[in-house]
Amino acid sequence: MSFDYEVKRHESLPILIAKIGRTWGEHNMAMMFAECLDACRDDEQHVIRITDFSEADMSFSDVIMLVQLLSKQQVPGSFFDTRFDDVLVGTDAWVYVARDRISKFLGQHVALFQTQEAALRYAMRQLAHGQHTEGPAAV
């Protein structure tokens, strides 16, 4: 199965936007995480990554398998890499399941928004206030 995605960096802020396409696969997911690491600057200790799943087509079992795989293997650049503060985007029920599982594993809330624009506004507010994704976010 192929995996289409795009990783963009905000022009002036430590924010990455990873937009996931309709198809995905384990091997290429690791490639996306590696690309996120490559997009970070050497002097950055923390980057906010917005991962937009609004177009992705995944099942509940896909999500459970992916989160378990990433947490067990400690994939560099993944949702479990402490260099990233993750914010998720999506409206499907499986995105909420993914957020809950990632939050539980990390022991902290991972923000979830229905649009990329709302997630970007949230990330910019977090940076403006010297915070990252420590507290709950309204959807």
Which domains does the chain show, CATH number per domain?
5-128 (3.30.750.24)
Give me 117's structure tokens. Answer: 């624009």
Say if CB 132 and CB 48 are below 8 A apart. yes
114-124 per-position pLDDT tens digit: 999 999 999 99
- In angstroms, rounded to a whole number, what is the distance separating the alpha carbons of residues 124 and 128? 6
4-46 per-position pLDDT tens digit: 889 999 999 999 999 988 876 656 677 889 999 999 998 888 8
Looking at residue 134, its pLDDT comes to 43
Contacts of 36 (CB under 8 A, 6+ apart): 7, 16, 18, 47, 49, 77, 84
94-112 per-position pLDDT tens digit: 899 889 988 998 888 999 9
Stretch 55-71: mean pLDDT: 79
- In angstroms, rounded to a whole number, what is the distance separating the alpha carbons of residues 63 and 39? 25
User: What's the whole-model pTM score?
Assistant: 0.85
Dump strand ranges (E) for 21-67: 47-52
- In angstroms, rounded to a whole number, what is the distance separating the alpha carbons of residues 76 and 69? 12
